[in-house]
Amino acid sequence: MQNDTPKPHQTPDALSHFKPSLATGELNHPAGTLVDKYGRRITYVRLSITDRCDFRCSYCMAEEMTFLPRHQVMSLEECWRVAAVFVGLGVNKLRITGGEPLVRKEAMWLIERLGALPGLEQLVMTTNGSQLTRFAAPLKAAGVKRLNISLDTLKPDRFRAITRIGDLGKVITGIAAAQAAGFRRTKLNVVAMRGVNDDEFVDLVQFAVDRALDISFIEEMPLGEIHGRNNTYISSAETRDILSARFELLPSSELSGGPARYWRIPGNESRIGFISPHSHNFCDTCNRVRITAQGELYPCLGQNDAINLLPVLREFPHDDAPLRQAIIESMGIKPFGHDFTQQMEAPQVVRFMSMTGG
């Protein structure tokens, strides 16, 4: 169950121990950009605007979740400030996540303003698809470039079991609405689970190919107190072997700015991606950080270290300089990488995926 205990108040002075080992002025990078102590430039931020969702996916959250009270969640105006400061520091890709971002009241107010933000080249969103019938066209008009839609199965009963309360029909209709609104390169995200949906991998790829969608298979990650992952974990290599029995897969050098490594089916536009945090992590090229709905900046998905930006936002509501400095100093706690494989039996990261954001 999620802990609602407020975190202690932090000011920029209280964050001083998070400073990089090199002084900011000594970092070898262009002024106005974010570079961590390993020389990786941060150009991609995943911003959660809510911890709430209209699904309860078994790998993402507990069945009985306690969601954050409103005062512990960033306002839409605070989300805007965080995004604007990051863009001012050279970030050019922003992914809106949740929970399910489209259940946040007045979410379009924020998205419309982000879509017009100078310097932001890619505004994208991860969604479960349930709200796209209503929001696909407004999202496109607001400047959202691409959508990632979670889809782990094509079987209604299985979909209900995985999501606990979800309706597959709404997601399928939402995918069609996104295509009708003009979205291209929409990607389906499939969490690969042995004994749960591995018998559908071929069908899911065929579904994507038939609709000119991209699709990525994601190795399950040990986040939150969810047990039994050793039984359901399946590697990207094994998933690819299953697909290769039906499709000719050719490796591609294409990158999307995220962690997926892509393969192509000859003569088809769809890209088949594999995200492999266990078997082939992507830490050496990591260009991203995550912001939770309560303003926590996580430099690494697979670690617990974070800086809380919410107190800074609220102590200095009209001055972005302290916020900017806190973000710069957060680069000092970004580790070189994670080790999910050692965490399968006893996860060190006990927050649920829905808390971190997509």
pLDDT band at 37 (very low <50, low <70, confident <90, very high): confident
19 is in which domain, residue-wise? 12-26+34-356
Write down the mean pLDDT value for the chain.
Answer: 84
- For residues 220-242, average pLDDT: 76
What's the pLDDT at 339?
A: 55
- Which CATH number do you get for residue 302? 3.20.20.70
Does the residue 277 lie in any domain?
A: yes
Q: Round to whole Å and give the CA distance between 124 and 114.
A: 10
Does the residue 202 lie in any domain?
A: yes
Does the residue 280 lie in any domain?
A: yes
Q: Round to whole Å and give the CA distance between 134 and 180.
A: 12
C-beta separation of 167 from 132 below 8 A: no
Q: pLDDT by residue (tens digit) across 39-81?
A: 899 999 999 999 999 888 888 777 767 788 999 999 999 999 9
pLDDT band at 31 (very low <50, low <70, confident <90, very high): low
Q: pLDDT by residue (tens digit) across 118-136?
A: 999 999 999 999 999 999 9
Does the residue 3 lie in any domain?
A: no
What secondary structure, in 3-state letters, does 154-211 show? CCHHHHHHHHCCCCHHHHHHHHHHHHHCCCCCCEEEEEECCCCCHHHHHHHHHHHHHC
What's the pLDDT at 236?
A: 94
Comparison of pLDDT for 341 and 45, the residue scoring more:
45
- For residues 271-278, average pLDDT: 86
Does the residue 2 lie in any domain?
A: no
Comparison of pLDDT for 26 and 100, the residue scoring more:
100
Domain count, the chain: 1
Does the residue 6 lie in any domain?
A: no
- For residues 284-306, average pLDDT: 87
- For residues 264-270, average pLDDT: 94
- For residues 10-26, average pLDDT: 34
Does the residue 290 lie in any domain?
A: yes
Comparison of pLDDT for 26 and 82, the residue scoring more:
82
What's the pLDDT at 157?
A: 96
Whether residue 261 has pLDDT greater than 50:
yes
Does the residue 340 lie in any domain?
A: yes
- For residues 274-302, average pLDDT: 82
